[in-house]
Chain A
């Protein structure tokens, strides 16, 4: 019985362990043959510890996460406000339809060169692109959420003579909170991916750039350390957001 429970608990780790072991074996053989393109995972772990000790790890991680969070705050804030407006007024939604459909399909990475021209390298260009990328999903999901708010609640608001601002603040916003957090979870994932992508493609800061530099200076161990670290950070944040979203849904009495 207990051995069965142990196998059950270990099951998620079996495949990664096998893959890592294979990779370790293959990379060691490649390194023995004189390749400097790959490094075994054990060397990557060493490189990770080194980066953690000299502080470069935390600095770059902080930059990426901070920029992603701030960009998400801007994009999600604007997206939510506009989403509520378009959700409440059918007329506004119809008027904005073409503009939204024309701008939304522009891939966020296409704006990297433009942001480079406008802001130069640094925090602001990354913020702008993360905000652009998170704005659209938040806008559409919030709009859909507002359109599904119980119409009787809105009627009550109208009967009570609430102003448009009060209606949005006191009735709509509380009613869409569970869906808002689902949208935010998606936004967080998008923000992280876009932030790392911008750093890899252009911005000389953060985790993506650190990985790019490690590759260019032929330090495969450090590059793999960054790749693994980006994976771990992304996974942890996604799990945390899922928990948060479920907790909010439970608190609001909605089945998650």
Chain B
């Protein structure tokens, strides 16, 4: 059974189409991330699932029930907002119990459920404080607690970690992952941060301009991007792209001429890749540093900038293919101006056609 299903969903704001004919299924119990740049429609999609935005065309199903016209409160969903949306005039206890109080639950039931949730999220000492007296991480947990107490079938998260500092973000990511493990409830998580999506999600839905670019596991998206957009969005540092000339295709390998004169055989999915200009994408860790005169070098170049991260070194190398980013070992002692050669791991390179689709 699908937990959430969107069928041919379109969202228009007047003449502007934010989401166009989008269909998506989310498996029960999964952690699905909606990932994309600002303005791609991921928050709009989440809000349509929540019932906060009207669906212009199409249908939304939750647990096989058509909820397209059902008000948000009756969809058995709970949402955690980017700003947490904790009511500032209420205590933590009152915030968590708010939905129960609206539903008319008895004081006893409100107290019991609030205490259970507070214990689970280690909020018990904070129950009588107000949101202004809490830290960012504590507020985040109260927002999650307020969602938990509703016992929803689907949790919706709208960039919940955006307002936290880097260290707290890592900590809260672990807590969210643990929460998902403990509860097993379906979670749909909107983020523009690919690290969050890659570390938390079972499946990632990459969105671009209101349409789905690719759906897959984090490793699928990383190792086998379907198009240039996904390839450039996933991975940090980002993938290198440069123009190549396809000379021919044989045995599912395209023979390409690289900038600088060398050639390479790149695996392709399609048998009918057209000869001519194309684009090659290579991740920084799939370029290897060799001696400048090494015959295996696909490019010769000069190191422009070196960034030492401790566990790895990022080098920006000027080559005939433009400036390429290379990820090397942490103990590299290369300096700016050094002449180097770059060997290409052809099996991990991706060829893209003129439309940006993977060849």
Q: Tell me, yes or no, whether A binds B.
A: no
Spell out A's residues near B (CB within 8 Å).
none
